[in-house]
Structure 1
Amino acid sequence: MHYVVGRSEDVLDALPVAVRDRAAASRFPPWRAEEYAASRTLLRALLREIGEDLGGGPVAARPSGRPYLPGRPDLGVSLSHSSGWVAAAVGRGCAVGVDVQAPSYVSDRLLRLCCSPADAEALAGVPEARRRREFAWIFTVQEACVKAVGRGLSGRPWNVPVDLGQQAGVWGRVSWCAPRDGEPVPVGCAWNAGLSKPS
């Protein structure tokens, strides 16, 4: 599995946007159009980097919203966006999930829903900035895991067990990681068990 994260504006400043992505993005409000175009542009750049140039070919979406590459069932893809950040992931021969989250306010109720009782209690007692960031790391993994099995929020990501500070694990047939070193924003990656870690 391979993944990449970037700021929407930086991606759009540095890389050309495919004509079909620009046309599709025009259906959305400006903030959403930027993230839509940037995430697909980032995916196309990642595909080129790993030798799978998509050219101007389509990045389609299933009715659930899950992206896929028509004619390339051998490549799993995932996209994410959050407050000006975008992420893209590609896996050869496996379904993948990626999630990026800009840290934001998290209620005690959400902490209790998504975290173990001990972790929810620990996070409730830390400064707000740290609480937001640590929760974002947990939730990116939870969301990436349910994306890797083809579901979003309907997959009940809060049921994916992720401990505070944990950087890798397994959930069912899905392996995951939270690559904290060097990432400017919380990101979680998930892929079928048995494959190599993301690069």
Structure 2
Amino acid sequence: MHHLVRRGEEVLDELPVAAPDRATAAGLPPWRALEHTASRTLLRALLREIGEDLRGGPVAALPSGRPYLPDRPDLGVSLSHSSGWVAAAVARDRDVGVDVQTPRAVGDRLLRLCCAPGDAEALTALPEDGRRREFAWIFTVQEACVKAAGTGFAGRPWTVPVTLGQRTGAWERVSWCAPREAQEVPACCAWTERRGPGRTFRQVGAAGGDGP
């Protein structure tokens, strides 16, 4: 399993946009086109790093928005974006989910929904900047896990158990890693057990944040 997290504008300044990605971004609002092209450009760069160059092949999306590679169904891929940041992940013979979140204000109700009672109280007691950042780390894990499972919000990400400060873990058949020291912005990658013979995708409901 491999993933990258970068600022979208930096990605587009440094790397060329593939023709299929430029075409699928046509007609999108400028901010959305930037996220679309930057996330896919980052994915292509990641694939080249691991020796899996798409050579201009398409990055498609299921009706739910979950991305996939029509020319390489053996590779699981995931994309995410948040306020100018983009993330991409790829895994061989596994489903994968990646999520990036820029810290933002979070209310008591959302804290209680997504966190264990003791963690919600601890977050409430933190200064605003710390509360925003720590909650973002928790929610990236929850989002990445339901993306890897193929369920998106239908999988009720707030039910994925994550403790304050936790860096690795597992949920159902999904494992995850949140490398806190290695990234400027909260981001997590999650992956499933190896796919069975002939299995390519698992799709249930919406795959939030993986949109085209």
Kindly state the Cα deviation for residue 122 of structure 1 after the two structures are TM-superposed: 0.6
- Aligned residue for 1:96? 96
CA RMSD after TM alignment: 0.9
Alignment of 1:60-71 (within 5 A): 60-71=60-71
Deviation (angstroms), 1:148: 0.3
Question: What amino acid maps onto 1:3 in structure 2?
Answer: H
Residue 72 of structure 2 corresponds to 72
Aligned residue runs from structure 1 range 29-68, under 5 A? 29-68=29-68
Deviations 1:82-132 (A, max 9, x none): 000000000001000000000001111100110001101110111000000
- 2:90 and 2:96 in contact (8 A); partners too: yes
Contact 1:170 1:193 in 2 (8 A): no
Residue 96 of structure 1 aligns with an amino acid whose one-letter code is V
Paired position in structure 2 for 1:174: 174
- Structure 1's unaligned 5+ residue stretches are 195-199
Identity %: 73
Which residue number in structure 2 is paired with residue 123 of structure 1? 123
User: 1:193 deviation in Å?
Assistant: 4.1
Does the 8 Å contact 1:119/1:163 carry over to 2? yes
**Whole-Å Cα distance in 1 between the matches of residues 73 and 177 of structure 2?**
24
- Secondary structure of residue in 1 paired with 2:88: strand
- Could you list the runs of 5+ residues in structure 2 that have no partner in the other structure? 195-212
Deviation readout 1:107-166 (Å, 9 max, x if unpaired) = 111001100011011101110000000000000000000000112112110010000000
Query: Take 2:141 and 2:62, find their aligned partners in 1: how far apart are those partners?
Result: 22
Runs of 4 or more, structure 1, over 4 Å off, are: none
In 2, the alpha carbon distance for the partners of 1:25 and 1:63 equals: 16
